[in-house]
Amino acid sequence: MTPVTGRKRTTIHIVLPAFNEGRNIGRLLDRIAGTMEEAGLRYRIILVDDGSTDDTVETAGRFRGEAPLEIVCHEQNQGLGATLRDGLVHALKNADDNDIIITMDADETHAPGLILHMSRKIREGHDVVIASRFRPGARVYGVPLTRRFLSLAACWVLRLAFPLSNIRDFTCGYRAYRGGALKIAVEHYGSRLVDADGFQCMVDILLKLHKLHMIIGEVPVILRYDLKQGKSKMRVAATVRGTFSVLFRRRLGLP
């Protein structure tokens, strides 16, 4: 049998939205590079700095010679929605249909080792894979009780409003997307794919992708808030209001 030649290797594009993560970003980049290189995977890291006022960019910049790192900077803070959108757009500029785009938090709460499992699920046929806190085997460490209650309540409200049997975690930002699926979504929605502000943008993206009949799956995640340095950037009240606004609009089919 003649061997197949010229086959292009899959690239994993890792998008990291960041705001004032100088105390976390160095360790995270080191862990990502170690995970990917140990597995022999081709990858690039896209750090989108959302107007940080600490040393996030300077700390990350030290890794440019050690890892395939690209840094995109916002001069002023624009919020998670705009930061995630710019990271996805930047990733898609050089992504093939069979490439994999990962989004994860830059505060070291998401373990890079799960990228391998999520990428395997994409190669098995999924368009989107969510690192879920609500699947058997998931663990959450260091999250305050009130925050855990709000996450669980939001999960149940969303599952009641959108009873999708294969989705339990609508809000976790640790996800894998097939490049071709994300391109289809951008072609359909354009800039509206990520037009929600704040953390509620994760819900909005997921509901839009489901409407396009994407194949969505989940894997259990081990969430390590006990490793995070610094305060959470989430404004709980604003996020709750924004999430209900997204839910209302999508339920009624509004733009």
What integer pLDDT is reported at residue 236 of this predicted model? 53
- Average pLDDT per run of 10 along the chain, which is 255 residues long? 62 97 96 97 98 97 94 95 95 96 96 97 98 94 77 75 82 95 96 81 89 95 83 57 61 58
Residue spans of the domains in the chain: they are 11-251
CA angle in degrees (0–180, nearest 5) for 201-140-216:
45
pTM above 0.75, yes or no: yes
What integer pLDDT is reported at residue 148 of this predicted model? 75
Q: Which residues contact 240 (CB under 8 A, 6 or more apart)?
A: 150, 154
Q: Judge: domain 11-251, CATH 3.30.70.1290.
A: no
Kindly provide the residue ranges of all beta strands, DSSP E only, lying in 208-250, ordered along the sequence: 216-220, 222-224
For tokens 């969303």, the residue is 158
Q: 167, 216 in Cβ contact below 8 A?
A: yes
